[in-house]
Structure 1
Amino acid sequence: MNETFDIRKAFEKISSSSRTIAVLGSMNADYTVETETLPRPGETVFGGPLQILAGGKSANQASAAARIGAQVKLLGALGTDENADFLFSTLAKAGVSMGSIARMEGKSGTTVITVDAHAENTIVYSAGSNAKVTPDYVRSVRGTIQGAAVLGVCFESPMDSVIEAASIAHQSGVKVLLNNSPFRQELPAEIIANIDILLVNEHEISHMLHLSPPPGDDWAELDWDVVTQRLHSLGCNQAVVTLGSQGAYVLDINGFDENCGHFWKFLKAVEVKAVDTTGCGDAFMGAILAGLTAGLSLYDSARLAVYVAGYAATGLGAQSSYGTSRQIVDLLSS
């Protein structure tokens, strides 16, 4: 492990913090099948047994944070089907506070996922009850948002509800972390004005900023000074750009010393035997939320997130692959 970063102490800070995380968004039942290769358009391939696993980007983020000891309150809506009970109980067992979850008539959110032998996946999302998270609902949980240290949002909830939640948080001095997923190339001004940190992957940042991907997808060749400058011109001074198995870049005009030469730093990924990368990005965000809530810097929160996401890649599914702090430390120590 990196000598300058003690992961055990980071986990201790998280578990001892009394501050809370609020996460607004989605809960999905993930219908998951493993295949040798992903099907091409018009192609049928053989798959293994169908598994129904707990997912949803926001639920995943909340679960990942709770499992490493953070105090997490999830805000969103479930349906009235069997999947709703399954999702509720799975998250509650992970330690997520579910007291503010609404119940809406109809189906809960679902995804259909295929995972190939190289741990790559395809995902189709059906919003279900997640689409019924309205601004009125958000206003009804205003107190939970205002009482949090950090709010996590993504775009698996309706845009007007995300804007409402981010606005409430921003006006109350609550830090807002946005995961731009499902990806939107143009972010509304109301979003930019009310978020503190942006989380995207490498392809998303190139599309957002109209940058050509580097030859051979060697993202170290991208001019990260230009990326930082363009994000700053959009009104975003802090961001994390994930690179999957390559690692991540942390961009922080507020936190990095200009004397270092750059307002960005690179983080190398943890080397693990990947089984399924579904939900690894959500585990990464959950760990950042947990770190920020415990008073870690954005950079140290991202360093922690590299380990948490690496552990998640060693198991099948999203929430089902997330580890506790002890499990993560034990794996990395070995």
Structure 2
Amino acid sequence: MTRLDVLGAINEDVVARVRRAPALGETVADGVLQHQPGGKGANQAAAAARLGAQVRMLGAVGRDAAAAQMRAALESAGVDVSAVQTVDEPTGTALIVVDEAGENSIVVCPGANARIDPDRFERDAAVPVLAQLEVDGAVVDHLARTSTGLFALNVSPARELGQLLWDRTGLFIVNEGEYAALPRLATAPLVALTLGADGAVLLRGGRRVAEAPSAPTSVVSTVGAGDAFAAALTVALLRGLDDEVALRAACAVGAAAVADERSQPALAPLDAYLG
């Protein structure tokens, strides 16, 4: 079985579903409130586990009721939470507005995610890592420095990367805005670039080696789609699938995610998305 350590944020998502998002200074009064497990790290860990990988979550939660709920959600997805740290900060929270087209705006309150101690992780350095940038950059750097297996990085939210991450990252996963913000990605060894409704492309050294369309679907929420895509592509490549097959599978998983209102959507094993 494919093994994967996922480093990243664990959040409680507080979601308001509205017909349209309010403009600055405006109030809309038709919201429907939901509380659900989220955080880019937790979303990707849950997706990878549901797709069939053996996943361990590397992150932190607080000592509050949300912490128990977030741990339970990960465990129900099949994720090993033994490395999730408990710290003296509230569990992270994301405030999310989703409109009737499924588009979203998000404010993240990091809480416990800002207090991860990378020295407390006891792990096999050879196990591949999938990370994002919702946690302290020093923690991401530590995992990149101490890992010997594949280091995959979802560059979200986008920020400037230090030389260590450029040297160690074997797979960058970005959307169009993130790609435009980091011109150096054009020469990176392997980049997956998501194009929304237009699917995704895979670039090796700036050369397009695979492309895949977005699978037809009804858009309910785009909150967890990028995370499901990142998890699926990483797992598919670790399984040894060729570029085109892996990318098509990841796009199919992303399409399944946007048809689900949850940040951690229900997914079938990866083989269900091949073909």
What range describes the TM-score normalised by the shorter chain of this pair?
Answer: over 0.9
1:206 to 167, 176, 180: 180
**TM-score between both structures, scaled by the size of structure 2:** 0.94
CA distance in 2, matches of 1:86, 1:300: 35
**C-alpha contact (below 8 Å) 1:288/1:298 kept by paired residues:** no
Letter in 1 for 2:145: S
Aligned to 1:154: 132
Is 1:181 the equivalent of 2:156?
Answer: yes
The runs of at least 4 aligned residues of structure 1 exceeding 6 Å deviation read none
CA distance in 1, matches of 2:271, 2:102: 21
Is 1:247 the equivalent of 2:199?
Answer: yes
CA distance in 2, matches of 1:299, 1:192: 24
Letter in 1 for 2:162: P
2:101 partner SS:
coil
Deviation (angstroms), 1:197: 1.0
CA distance in 1, matches of 2:271, 2:263: 16
Aligned to 1:100: 83
Letter in 1 for 2:251: V
Listed one character per residue, the Cα deviations across residues 108-166 of structure 1 (whole Å, up to 9, x for unaligned) are 011000100111100000101110113323xx32x24x141x21011111101100101
**TM-score between both structures, scaled by the size of structure 1:** 0.78
Larger helix fraction of residues: 1
**C-alpha contact (below 8 Å) 1:20/1:147 kept by paired residues:** no
Q: If you compute each CA radius of gyration, which structure gives the higher value, 1 or 2?
A: 1
**1:138-153 to 2 correspondences below 5 Å:** 140-141=121-122, 143-144=123-124, 146-148=125-127, 150-153=128-131
Is 1:318 the equivalent of 2:272?
Answer: no
**C-alpha contact (below 8 Å) 2:133/2:155 kept by paired residues:** yes
2:74 partner SS:
helix
Aligned to 2:17: 34
Unmatched segments (≥5 aa) in structure 1: 1-17, 210-229, 255-261
CA distance in 2, matches of 1:83, 1:231: 37
Aligned to 1:117: 100
Deviation (angstroms), 1:48: 3.1
Aligned to 1:75: 58
Deviation (angstroms), 1:328: 5.8
45-54 or 269-278, which deviates more:
45-54
**Number of residues paired by the alignment?**
275
Deviation (angstroms), 1:74: 0.7
Listed one character per residue, the Cα deviations across residues 149-205 of structure 1 (whole Å, up to 9, x for unaligned) are x21011111101100101111xx2x01111111111x21111111111111101211
Query: In structure 2, do the counterparts of structure 1 residues 326 and 200 end up closer, same or farther at CA, with 3 Å as the change threshold?
Result: closer
Deviation (angstroms), 1:253: 3.9
1:191 partner SS:
helix
2:211 to 249, 266, 269: 266
CA distance in 2, matches of 1:110, 1:308: 25
After superposition, the CA RMSD in angstroms is: 2.0
CA distance in 2, matches of 1:177, 1:297: 17
CA distance in 1, matches of 2:138, 2:59: 14
**1:187-198 to 2 correspondences below 5 Å:** 187-198=161-172
Larger strand fraction of residues: 2
Deviation (angstroms), 1:296: 1.9
Deviation (angstroms), 1:79: 0.6
**1:282-293 to 2 correspondences below 5 Å:** 282-293=227-238
Letter in 2 for 1:111: A
CA distance in 2, matches of 1:287, 1:326: 7
Deviation (angstroms), 1:77: 0.7
Unmatched segments (≥5 aa) in structure 2: none
